[in-house]
Chain A
Amino acid sequence: MTTQAVNKKDSHKLGMRASENIYQTIICFLLALLAATMVLPFLYVIVISFTDASVYESGTFYLWPQKWSTEAYSLILKGQGFLNALKATVFITFVGTPINVIANAGLAYMLSKDDLPGRKMINRLVMFTMLFGAGMIPNFIIMRNLGLINSWFANILPSTCGAWTVMVMKSFFSELPRDLEEAAEIDGCGTFRMFVQIILPLSLAMLATFTLFAFVSYWNCYFSAIIYLTDTSKQPLQVYLSKIVLSTDISEVVDMDSDLKNKVPQEVMRMACLVVVVLPILVIYPFMQKYFAKGVMVGAVKG
């Protein structure tokens, strides 16, 4: 009698487990399908970019290059157009990122002090920039008046101080324990030293996140480049890539010898260029992933 009851219960549980397994399988399958749409295009582009011209032109498509070739890459990397664009992007990214983080962190730290006179007003002014923007033409006119047209600083400075970044950093700073600051103050620690030696080291994870965000946004800058940089030799990688992908004859953009022109199919060159431009993002992405999933984003919603 009792064993029967137990068996019945077990079989019921088993049934539950089976339906639960089916449920899990369906969900995992759907998610895997979604993830596949994000991985497969890259896989396709990477494979084609390494495929030898003769195999590509035969028209058959393989998931693995039948004959490897790095010719497309060597053509792209040697072109003067690429070198110019790389120089621009490297300057914008590596000069812009520190300026961005320092300006945001400084302002955020200032606003994190509750009893700072004028805090409320400055806070409102920062928030207002999130709500209302002047638009493209006034920004362009100001940039021209400032003499920043065709300067890489035109790509760096306007996006440097973001209201959202300041707000998230501010809420992070105001959650830091006050005792440490008070103790340091009693020991005669000045404002700057406090900021550099106590506050910043305590917020390394948050700073790392925003450093990487800034890095990505500068590496990806396109809009500000086409507006403020009219000199083609100063335009960054994203503009270069868009030109290669959109133009019908890429030999002018790449700036390569005319006898090499027909050696590698244009489509393969385009894909090689995309891989080169996206590579830094793919390389730093795993490091970012570690930070942003928790902490900072949650603070953003609460703040």
Chain B
Amino acid sequence: MTAIWEGLTSALGNFFSYIVVAVSALVLLYIILYVLFLKFRHDAAKRMRRYRLLYILGIPGMLILLLFNYLPMGSLFMAFEDYDPWKGLGASPFVGFKHFARLFADAKFYQMLRNTLTISLLSLVTFPAPIILALLLNEVRSSAFKKTIQTTVYLPHFLSWTIVVSLTFFLLSSEQGLVNKLIISMGGTKRAFLFDKSIIYLIIVIQGVWKGVGWGSIVYLAAIAGIDQGLYEAAKIDGANKFQSIIHITLPCILPTVAVMLILKMGSIISVDFEQVLLMTNALVKEKLDVFEVYIYENGVKSGSTEFSYTTAIGMFKSVISTILVLTTNRIVSSNGMKGII
């Protein structure tokens, strides 16, 4: 086996060798299934033959998922080893839960957890913002105005965090920032907003709302558009005012959508936006913005780092927690009579 692999890599290079192996694995799987089906269920084998070219259409996508989503999951095993890149996954010594034990004993871990949860919970407070925006947009009568506003508020979703953070710097930096210039021109003294530990979370949350509020409102607008107009007319005849019909008709009708969005949000409560936090970090606010992703990046990926196993363990802890959170929220939502996501 190793001889074949070495021959392959020397001829094709690592990348294409992996592709060749993965494609042959998929083809082999297909053949095995085909033979099995031929024996037990003739109709399935017949359909497999009918659709054989369709499987080929799906191969690029499956291949990418296999190489970049499922192969790394195999490497998660290194969280239970003292991984040595020169020895590889197979030959590195197995250490069991050592890294996880170290993780839970590490004071740094609790600091990172606290920071992550603080940022997430603060941004959870802004969860209703897109709903409110959708309700407001829905009330607008002039469709031209509505369209203009929509076009404008969706835009930030398509901007990278680099752009958003740059704009923040242009507005808030202490030397050249617009806000400080205005403060000075009005006779005040300038403040170093970006280095201020007490407001850094506020800046992070506002950035998140600014970027996401418009885009987030799309699903709610779609849900509102799907509500039966007869309900509103009936309420009007019964003497309900606008506010009452929003509370008693619109909100209950979009509740399933809210539930789905909440499930999706719960999955990310243990993670923060890596790009945003990394770009906003500086020496003075670092203790407030020390989160798992940044730690993993600085100790596992950056050149000269050696803590592969420990950082993998951190990442694995995060993934497992977020999966559990999604599944739990999903269970709660579906047990209350609504459709979950899974």
Binding site for B on A (CB under 8 A): 23-24, 27-28, 30-32, 34-35, 37-39, 41-42, 44-45, 48, 59, 61, 99, 102-104, 106-111, 113, 115-118, 122, 125-127, 129, 131-142, 144-148, 153, 157-158, 160-161, 166, 190-192, 195, 216, 219-220, 222-223, 227, 230, 238-239, 241-242, 245-246, 267, 270-271, 274, 277-278, 281-282, 285-286, 288-289, 292-294, 297-298, 300-301
Binding site for A on B (CB under 8 A): 13-15, 18, 33, 37, 44-45, 47-48, 51, 53-55, 57-62, 64-65, 67-76, 78, 85, 133, 136-137, 139-142, 145, 148-156, 158-163, 165-167, 169-171, 176, 178, 181-182, 185, 210, 213-214, 218-219, 222-223, 242, 257, 260, 267, 274-275, 279, 293, 296-297, 300-301, 303, 308, 311-312, 315-316, 318-319, 323, 326-327, 342
**Inter-subunit contact B152/A38 (CB<8 Å):** yes
- Out of B62, B69, B165, which one reaches A122, CB within 8 Å? B62
**Inter-subunit contact B300/A129 (CB<8 Å):** no
Nearest-neighbor residue (CB-CB) of A190 within chain B: B53
Nearest-neighbor residue (CB-CB) of B145 within chain A: A28
Q: Name the distance in Å between B226's Cβ and chain A's nearest Cβ.
A: 8
**Inter-subunit contact B315/A135 (CB<8 Å):** yes
**Inter-subunit contact B75/A141 (CB<8 Å):** yes
Q: Which DSSP category, helix, strand, loop or mixed, fits chain A's interface? A: helix
**Inter-subunit contact B60/A103 (CB<8 Å):** yes
Residues of B within 8 A of A115 (CB): 47
Residues of A within 8 A of B300 (CB): 136-137, 140
**Inter-subunit contact A285/B155 (CB<8 Å):** yes
Residues of B within 8 A of A109 (CB): 54, 57-58
**Inter-subunit contact A191/B53 (CB<8 Å):** yes
**Inter-subunit contact A146/B15 (CB<8 Å):** yes
Task: Report the Cα distance A108→B54, complex, angstroms.
Answer: 10
Q: Name the distance in Å between B29's Cβ and chain A's nearest Cβ.
A: 9
- Out of A30, A39, A104, A222, which one reaches B160, CB within 8 Å? A222
**Inter-subunit contact A161/B61 (CB<8 Å):** yes
Task: Report the Cα distance A153→B169, complex, angstroms.
Answer: 31
Task: Report the Cα distance A117→B51, complex, angstroms.
Answer: 9
